[in-house]
Amino acid sequence: MAAKKWGLIIIIMINLVFSCFASSLWGMDSAREKTGEEVFINQVGYLTNAPKFVISAKAAGEFVIFDEKEKSIFQGALEPFADPTSMQTVWRGDFSSQKIPGVYRIFIPEVGWSYPFTIDHAVYNQVLALGTRYYYLQRCGIVLNDDSSGLSHPLCHRQDGVMARADAFNQKGDIIPSMGGWHDAGDYGKYTTTTTVTVAQLLAAYQLWPEKFVDGQFGIPESGNGRPDLLDEARVGIEWLFTMQRPDGAVYHKLSGRYWPNIGTSPDFDRQPRYIYGISTADTGKFAATMAIVARVFQGMDPDLAERAEQAAKKAWGFLAENEFIWDHSGFDDQGSGAYGTTDDWPDRIWAAMELGVLTGDDSYVSAVINEENTFRRPYQPTPISWSDGALLGLFHYACEEGGRPELSAELTAMIIKLADHYLAAVDRSGYRYTLKFNEFAWASNKEALSRGITMLLAAELKANPQYQLAALAQLDFVLGFNPLSQCYVAGLGTKTVKSPHHRLVVASSKSVPGLLVGGPNNQAESGVEPRDRGPFSYQDATPSYSSNETAIDYNAALVFVASAFAATPE
Ligand code: 9MR
Ligand code: ZN
């Protein structure tokens, strides 16, 4: 009893000392104890009931949380942790017990301050809003005049697109009306590969959490039309995808200029011819799968669109059924646009089969890729969703829906759980609760981590285990600033935010694209700008760093998906 009382008195005294200390430092950083540099938190913030961790890069024993009135509200211990993500020892503290909404900062004596962060039940609604609105700012073939970001450009790419080569249906030089869609990234190419997996993930998030999406939510031109803004934005990608399908069902891989436009080129100044290059069965498979999802989502809401999508999906499937792997590109096709190349379409066929099986209830799609013993006709290892393989989503959709083969559903469920458990174990080993180990940081590492998070969110739908959600959320913590560079990787969010992404419109306008997620740390450092082989430190917030600081529509799709899972339902 007495010991407890003394403990309390000591804590109160320590708090008093820190309060004085804090008032001199709050908002005004001393040279010795800097802000943000060595104390890491999620700079956007934490859900009231979520786990909350702070990391100190330097040895320290305790941390103190201060509220906006500079009052210390909590003191906790830091424990050393051998962290495989940074390959360093870090000192980690847990403040999960803090649930009172507000804005806070953490102080670690002799180390420094954290950036401010919020605790709130709706703390990720802004992540979802900006992350989704990003697509509006990436739209192609529009006049952009956006007050909130200040971004604008006259009508761009008005002649999309020109047939680069003749095929059985079109002559070289023919115009195939294909305006619209989204600029892929910091470049202006439009790719079936990323547009499909993006649309599919946006719609999958909607299917899982429809209550989180309403009309007027993101402030886009379609706001007010009575339909959730998310679906309006997805439709921009969907309508463009329709234009990429050939009459025989095959789908063209990409539409882009022959050369990369210079980095400061506004889209309306990119006036080189924009070519439609050859078809691929990989893209045809992704298209079939995505259109099958479109058909399901829009069935009740927009039967016309749903019908068009179903027919397009079936036609694409028909082409796949008639053709082995095709990749109709030569190295001479272009000298400047995304390759998104592949030598195998098996994952795409699996994905298409699953989604069409779910849409139609017809087992013949499924039996094209799965045999009577419920195993894949050719070996297949599920992976987190990426531009090169979206099949996991198909496996998930099949596992969720009634009416398929029950044994197959059980097999697919087990596969997804196994993959998720693998990442769950990685999270438990990491000081940052990140799925990536030091040597796993490659191009688009931020997206890869969020995709692993998605894998765990899908598993959570199939098997009740709250750890899956919490581990997925931890991937978002890292991307929002809880990392060894103390870097928030989403422009417009956090304190140390992305300022110089590799993005042509950003350079041309000197404005920011709020909500833009960059690729992040990349050991290979292809651009030669970010440091090589430094794991989570292989990142540079610099325009020329296309391999660590570019965006892409499929990166944001992973961000939007994970943010959707944790956003509060709009009131
Ligand atoms: O996101 C893509 C990444 O996974 C690849 O490793 C990389 C190299 O092929 O390409 C990335 O995609 C880029 C695309 O090729 C062109 N538009 C910008 C994309 C993001 O950097
Ligand atoms: Zn454009």
Work out which ligand 1 atom sits closest to the CA atom of 386. Answer: 4
Residue corresponding to tokens 């399901």: 296
Render pLDDT for 401-429 as a digit per residue (tens, 0 to 9): 989 999 999 999 999 999 999 999 999 99
**Confidence bin at 322 (pLDDT 50/70/90):** very high
Joined together, the tokens standing for residue 187 give 């470049």
Work out which ligand 1 atom sits closest to the CA atom of 442. Answer: 6
Q: How far is CA 561 from CA 119, 262, 384, 457, in A?
A: 21, 32, 13, 9
Residue 191 pLDDT greater than 90, yes or no: yes
448 pocket-lining for ligand 1 (C-beta < 6 Å): no
Render pLDDT for 248-299 as a digit per residue (tens, 0 to 9): 999 999 999 999 999 999 999 999 999 999 999 999 999 999 999 999 999 9
Residue 3 pLDDT greater than 50, yes or no: no
**Confidence bin at 32 (pLDDT 50/70/90):** low
Q: What is the mean pLDDT of residues 544-571?
A: 98
Render pLDDT for 359-404 as a digit per residue (tens, 0 to 9): 999 999 999 999 999 999 999 999 999 999 999 999 999 999 989 9
Pairing of strands 102-108, 254-257: unpaired
pLDDT for res 22: 46
pLDDT for res 8: 45
Query: Which DSSP string corresponds to 174-238?
Result: -B-----SB--BSS--EEHHHHHHHHHHHHHHHHH-GGG--TTSS--TTTTSSS-HHHHHHHHHH
Query: Which DSSP string corresponds to 276-296?
Result: E--BBHHHHHHHHHHHHHHHH
- Please give the single-letter amino acid code of residue 510: S
Q: What is the mean pLDDT of residues 541-551?
A: 98
Distance 424 CA to ligand 1 centre (A): 27
**Confidence bin at 33 (pLDDT 50/70/90):** low
pLDDT for res 436: 98
Q: What is the mean pLDDT of residues 200-218?
A: 98
Ligand at shortest distance from the CA of 268:
2
Cα–Cα distance between 346 and 343 in angstroms, integer?
10
pLDDT for res 454: 99
Residue 12 pLDDT greater than 90, yes or no: no
Joined together, the tokens standing for residue 420 give 């998720």
Render pLDDT for 61-79 as a digit per residue (tens, 0 to 9): 999 999 999 999 999 999 9
Work out which ligand 1 atom sits closest to the CA atom of 550. Answer: 21
Residue 462 pLDDT greater than 70, yes or no: yes
- Give percent above pLDDT 70 in the chain: 94
C-alpha Rg value of the chain to the nearest Å: 25
Distance 236 CA to ligand 1 centre (A): 21
Render pLDDT for 114-173 as a digit per residue (tens, 0 to 9): 999 999 999 999 999 999 999 999 999 999 999 999 999 999 999 999 999 999 999 999
pLDDT for res 334: 83
The CATH topology of domain 125-566 is Glycosyltransferase (1.50.10)
Give φ, ψ of 154 to 5 degrees.
Answer: -65, 175
Distance 180 CA to ligand 2 centre (A): 7
63 pocket-lining for ligand 1 (C-beta < 6 Å): no
Distance 306 CA to ligand 1 centre (A): 31
338 pocket-lining for ligand 1 (C-beta < 6 Å): yes
Ligand at shortest distance from the CA of 158:
2
**Confidence bin at 5 (pLDDT 50/70/90):** very low
Pick the CATH number of 2-119 from 3.40.50.800, 2.20.140.10, 2.60.40.10, 3.90.180.10: 2.60.40.10
Distance 522 CA to ligand 1 centre (A): 12
Domain ranges (residues) in the chain: 2-119, 125-566
pLDDT for res 23: 43
Distance 169 CA to ligand 2 centre (A): 25
Pairing of strands 274-276, 190-191: unpaired
Average pLDDT, the chain: 94
Ligand at shortest distance from the CA of 557:
1
Provide the whole-model pTM.
Answer: 0.95
389 pocket-lining for ligand 1 (C-beta < 6 Å): no
Residue 480, burial from CB neighbour count under 10 angstroms (0-12, 13-18, 19+):
buried
Residue nearest to atom 3 of ligand 1 (CA): 443
